[in-house]
Structure formats: structure tokens, C-alpha cells
Structure 1
Amino acid sequence: MPRIRPLALCIFQKDQQILVHEGYDPVKQETFYRPLGGGIEFGEQSMQTAVREMKEELNAEICNLQYLGCLENIFVYNGNPGHEIIQVYCAEFVDSHLYDCTPQAFEIDGSPIKTVWKSLEDLKSGNPPLYPAGLWQLLTGSAYFME
């Protein structure tokens, strides 16, 4: 049964780059980029989700969370339809050394998540795309985001 999935995603910025997951849709044969984060659990506020997900995926503590906005994403991935309501945050790593490398990220099952620091200039073109749809406009229209 299809369902709407509530998510919290987190943006980390260094210089003119943001940390993103590099994904690939084999059906569309498309590489794409998306901030790290995950599903909001019942009874959990989205800000708590962002903190928990960064601890789970990156084993990293974060601070200075700033709410950027909410996006609705209706999409097809790997041939399957999806629908998400996404709370988007900017944050900072407590450990500043994480800005000096590309942090290793892992799913809850231990499988690796490919992360990269991607330049804003590269993301601006939309090829490969930055997901969810509308994220670029949200980032560039935010007082918290430094383009």
C-alpha cells in the first residue's frame, strides 16, 4: 500500500559546497544528489530526526540547526512511485574535522552511503539533479544559506 513518508534532511555547507548523498536510479539511468537524513518516527519531532539520523548515518553530533522549510516530493525511483513530506534543516558538525574530509555514511543495516561535497556551481545546473524537487530554490532563497 503506497503511503506518504515524512522525512527530515540536513544541509551541511563548507565554502561553496554542500554534503550530499550521491545516488543512482538504474531504471532512469540517472545519477542524482540528495542531502542526508531519513524518516521521522512516530512521536519524534523533525529536528530530533535530523539529529538522530546524522548520529546513525555519520556517527556525528550536530549543532546550530536552522529550519529552512518544508517540501513535498512526488517522484518515481527505481520504477516505483514515492511521496514524501520533507522538513529541511541547515546544521553544523560539532567536530570541525568533518569539514576536512568526506565523512563516511552508512545505512542502519551497515551498507555504505556514498557521500560527496558537491559544489554549488555544479548543482546549480540541475544536471545531475539535486533532489527533492524545489530544494535548490529553498536553499538559494534562505537567509541561512550562503551562496
Structure 2
Amino acid sequence: MLRPESVSEIRVVALGSIRRGEELLVQEIEANDAGGRNYRLLGGGVEFGEHSREALHREFDEELGVTLDDVSPVGTYERVFDHEGRRQHEVWRVYEAAIVEDWPYERAEFSFVEPDLGVELRATWKRPRELRSGPDRLYGETLLDDLGSEPHSAQ
């Protein structure tokens, strides 16, 4: 029998690929070893019994106070990695979507609060090629191949 402290969880995450022309809306994570920053798509954890599409809508509402439209699936990704000395396991459901409100598209960057942690985070717009060839990197870099340079059509 496994002891409670040895039981690990798989975290399911819903992420949104939001575009402004050729740019992607990304959240700044941390500095990296290449002298740049690490970024990821915006979104968050899926709660038990909640569909990932519903979680995506909820996360964008809670964190940015915005409504999503034209939500279509891009794919499912699985990552096993070490963070702060612990093995982590995440399954990502990624969706292409649009924000109904204009204000995020009108700003080069903006701050928002992650309500579960009470932490202020920063979002900005980046071109995928900047996240592929420069010191700035997208966490989940394989996403860049699947996202391509054009928005996905509804599926």
C-alpha cells in the first residue's frame, strides 16, 4: 500500500491560445538560463467533474474578467518534469479561442491576479518566432509546432 506522502497526482490544465494577428497572448513565468524569460499560455487547473472547455472559460473569467468565444480544440499534451525537487505530471488541453472584450488586444501587456494563489502575474503578446529562436521561450515548446502561424479553424 502506498503511503499518502508518496502518492502523486496528475494535474489536468486547460490553456488558451489567444491571438492578436501573428502574436500569442502569454503569461510571464520566470527568467531562464538563456538570458530571457519563460512564458506559457494562459489558463489553469481543471477541477474534478469539470470539462476542460468549461475550466478554460472559468479561468479566463476569474483571472482576467473576460469572456471567450470561438473556442476550438488544438490538442492534448502530457508533460512529466521536475520542479523544485519534485516530480510533476500534467496533462494539458489546449484550445484556440478569442476574447470578446477589446481591452486585452489594445494593451501591449497587463497584470492580472491568480485568485487561488493571490499572486500578481504579467501577460504580454509575443510572436511565436520570438519564442522559438530568441532567449525568450514558451513553456511547452512543442506547442509552437502545432499552433503554427495561423489560427486553427473551428473543429
Give the TM bin, normalised by the shorter chain: 0.7 to 0.9
Partner of 2:65: 59
Which structure has the larger Rg over C-alpha atoms?
Answer: 2
Partner of 1:19: 25
Gaps of 5+ in 1: none
Partner of 2:113: 106
Tell me which amino acid in the other structure corresponds to 2:123: T
Distance 1:133 1:2 in 2: 25
Tell me which amino acid in the other structure corresponds to 1:132: G
RMSD of aligned residue pairs (Cα, Å): 2.5
Tell me which amino acid in the other structure corresponds to 1:129: R
Gaps of 5+ in 2: 1-6
In 2, are the aligned partners of 1:7 and 1:87 still within 8 Å (CA)? yes
Partner of 1:121: 129
2:11 to 5, 16, 23: 5
Identity of aligned residues (%): 31
Moved segments of 4+, more than 4 Å: 25-30
In 1, are the aligned partners of 2:72 and 2:95 still within 8 Å (CA)? yes
Q: Cα 1:74–1:52, aligned 2, differ >3 Å: closer, same or farther?
A: same
Query: Per-residue deviation at 1:73?
Result: 1.1
TM-score by length of 2: 0.82
In structure 1, the residue corresponding to 2:91 is in which secondary structure? strand
Query: Per-residue deviation at 1:13?
Result: 0.5
TM-score by length of 1: 0.86
